[in-house]
């Protein structure tokens, strides 16, 4: 019997707000549980065990039934996020979902490699920079890339708050030069601002500080341009621009 998947929330249709699929209509399946504790995590309700009562064990069939209800039966991109969705038994979801015409993108920090990564349509690896207070296991990150193989569209997405994060992004890009890389400005939560940076008042409880966001994005663009790092793509978080830090949009 297949193990059930811990699901924190399913919502949409909305749009993907980040990375290579930015602007793409999608339904999010957010799983519960994570092996990281990032300093600026904005989805602690899908990470910390004290929120476990909000996580529902669901079969692949039940998840897809809810997705089909939300999409009115139309095929759509399903974005699986977390937490760290690589901790969940997702292979049956991918197999059955593909049979129903859905496509899948999974977002993970690259700390756990799974053989079923090769069944994904898109794999977004988002190793965490120094501002997260987490460290990268480079062998595990490479194992994730290898597990995805050549048929899955794999990309890198790095959050950048400051110069140290930017230097880290350069290191990731140099380590995996064959992968497209997307940089996005960071999104500190109200209670977890990155102290000592220009982003301390980046966001209020719901509404982004658009002026600070613009300045941060401008800094990152200037930094990339000065380095001649022309292979990279620099993006804001589109969903934050549209809805701030609201949950489930």
CA distance 185 to 23: 17
Q: Where are the domains of the chain?
A: 5-243
Residues 30-42: tens digit of each pLDDT: 999 999 999 989 8
pLDDT averaged per 10 residues, the chain (length 249) = 89 90 95 95 92 96 98 97 97 98 98 98 98 96 98 97 96 97 78 38 49 85 96 80 54
Contact 193, 162 (CB under 8 A): no
CA distance 94 to 112: 17
CATH number of 5-243: 3.20.20.70
Residues 133-158: tens digit of each pLDDT: 999 999 999 999 999 999 999 999 99
User: What's the order of all strands across the beta sheet hosting 77-81?
Assistant: 56-58, 5-15, 25-31, 77-81, 103-108, 122-125, 153-160, 181-185, 233-235
pTM, two decimal places: 0.88
């Amino acid at each position: 019997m297949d193990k059930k998947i811990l699901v924190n929330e399913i919502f949409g249709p909305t749009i993907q707000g980040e990375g290579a699929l930015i602007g793409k209509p999608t339904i999010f399946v957010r799983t519960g549980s994570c092996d990281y504790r990032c300093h600026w995590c904005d989805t602690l309700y899908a990470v910390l065990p004290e929120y476990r009562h909000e996580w529902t064990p669901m079969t692949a069939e039940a998840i897809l039934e809810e997705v089909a209800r939300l999409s009115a039966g139309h095929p759509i991109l399903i974005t699986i996020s977390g937490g760290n969705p690589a901790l969940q038994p997702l292979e049956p979801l991918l197999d059955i979902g593909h049979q129903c015409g859905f496509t899948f993108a999974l977002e993970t920090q690259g700390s756990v490699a799974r053989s079923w990564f090769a069944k994904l349509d898109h794999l977004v690896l988002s190793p965490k920079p120094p501002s997260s207070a987490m460290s990268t296991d480079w062998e595990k990150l490479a194992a994730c890339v290898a597990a995805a193989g050549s048929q899955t569209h794999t990309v890198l997405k790095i959050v950048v708050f400051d110069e140290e994060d930017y230097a880290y992004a350069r290191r990731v890009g140099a380590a995996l030069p064959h992968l497209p890389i997307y940089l996005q400005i960071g999104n500190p939560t109200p209670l977890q601002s990155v102290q000592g940076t220009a982003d301390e008042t980046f966001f209020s409880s719901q509404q982004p500080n658009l002026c600070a966001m613009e300045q941060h994005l401008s800094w990152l663009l200037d930094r990339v341009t000065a380095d001649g790092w022309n292979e990279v793509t620099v993006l804001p978080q589109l969903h934050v621009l549209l809805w701030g830090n609201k949950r489930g949009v």
